Amino acid sequence: MKKLDFSDVLIEPGISLKPLTRGMVNITPNDYVPIIIANMVTTGTFDAAEIASKRKFITFLSKEYSIEEYVFNLIGIDKEYVGVTTGVRKKDVNKTLEILQTYPDMGYVNIDIANVGANIDGMINAISNIRKKYKGKIVAGNVATVKMAEILESAGADIIKIGIGSGAACLTRTEVGVGVPQLSAIMDIRAAVKIPIISDGGCVTAGDVCKAIAAGANYVMLGGMFASCKEFSEDGDYVDFFGLGSEKMYNNYVPTDKEYRPVEGRTLKVPVKNTMDSVMNQLEGALRSVCTYVGVDNINDLHDKATFIEVNHQVNRSLEQYE
């Protein structure tokens, strides 16, 4: 069956039962903005968590920090909006359990491996070992099919992270030929599982974030959309934004299976043109606005009320050369 991506659809304008302004829309009915800054080395930083958590945006920290870095840098940040990221290897899980001993109130533990299908037992064991010691939300991923999502749900994950091959710095689709169009992955998995889901990867614009939530995502994870923010730049002009499977990543951190891996991620230099606040403003505004177009006063109702239309021409780009 044909599967769809964000660029294949638009959200249909609906009718509101009562007058509705953007200011009347509640985008934090669960006490967080349902947007997560990705646990990539560039974006999943303590600085990002500090800035984002003040606005109730969530950050999943990079897995590459040491225990000491986690323990020291988390002092003073509000932990409700922050996730620790871990792999499934024993040493990763033990490191995470040590961090949780100091900070049992971390909002999320993000168990993140690129290909859950290749290590289902590892993922199931990691979920159960963390569950024994941790009462917060356990995120497991990434998957992109209903079958894999159901396995993670039965394994006891609280939240499933969805997305294979859709990331801005990802090369899996071109170099390995594997992936699932993100919009259909969200819709199919939403219909099959009861627990919350995160749409991870593939959002290029705030409109895509709205589409992900309208399609049924409870949270949306973003890397590339934050890649042009000055907070992630070392020299103030460019941001080094590189995929978790990029050559830069392989050179700086030791992956498993190093000699057999292809490069599955890009290494990019992105010119600085935003701040985290400007990106967060645009995202919040978009979430408010989409609710007024669809006719709901609460972001939790967007999925039930929104309808999509399939299109073959999404945006008018005729004057972009003058920007």
Catalytic residue numbers read: 170, 172
Q: Is 280:238 a contact under the CB 8 Å cutoff?
A: no
Q: Which is nearer to ligand 5GP, 199 or 292 (CB)?
A: 199
Question: CA–CA separation, 147 vs 160, rounded Å?
Answer: 12
Q: Which residue has the tokens 């609280």?
A: 158
- Residue 221, classed as helix, strand or coil, is strand
Residues 280, 112, 269: CA angle, nearest 5 degrees: 50
DSSP symbol at 12 = P
Of 107, 181, 207, 223, the residue at the interface with ligand 5GP (CB under 6 A) is 223
Q: Would you count residue 245 as binding ligand 5GP (CB under 6 A)? A: yes
Q: Is 97:122 a contact under the CB 8 Å cutoff?
A: no
C-beta of 210: minimal distance to ligand 5GP in Å? 15
For residue 7, the one-letter residue type is S
Binding mask 25-64 for ligand 5GP (x = CB under 6 A): -------------x-x------------------------
Question: CA–CA separation, 244 vs 110, rounded Å?
Answer: 15
Q: Which is nearer to ligand 5GP, 244 or 294 (CB)?
A: 244
Q: Would you count residue 208 as binding ligand 5GP (CB under 6 A)? A: no
Question: Among residue numbers 251 through 310, which ones bind ligand 5GP (CB under 6 A)?
Answer: 264-265
* Closest to 140 (Cα-Cα) out of 71, 205, 198: 198
For residue 298, the one-letter residue type is N
Q: Is 3 exposed, middle or buried (0-12, 13-18, 19+ CB in 10 A)?
A: middle
Tokens for 18, please give them. 């009562």
C-beta of 177: minimal distance to ligand 5GP in Å? 12
Q: Would you count residue 207 as binding ligand 5GP (CB under 6 A)? A: no
C-beta of 44: minimal distance to ligand 5GP in Å? 9
Q: Would you count residue 200 as binding ligand 5GP (CB under 6 A)? A: yes
C-beta of 112: minimal distance to ligand 5GP in Å? 7
Question: Among residue numbers 139 through 158, which ones bind ligand 5GP (CB under 6 A)?
Answer: 142
Instruction: Give the interface segment with ligand 5GP, choosing from 47-55, 164-172, 183-191, 275-283 (CB under 6 A).
Output: 164-172
Q: Residue 108: enclosing H or E segment and its boundaries?
A: strand 108-112
Which residues of the chain form contacts with ligand 5GP (CB under 6 A)?
Answer: 38, 40, 114, 142, 163, 165, 167-170, 172, 200-203, 221-225, 243-246, 264-265
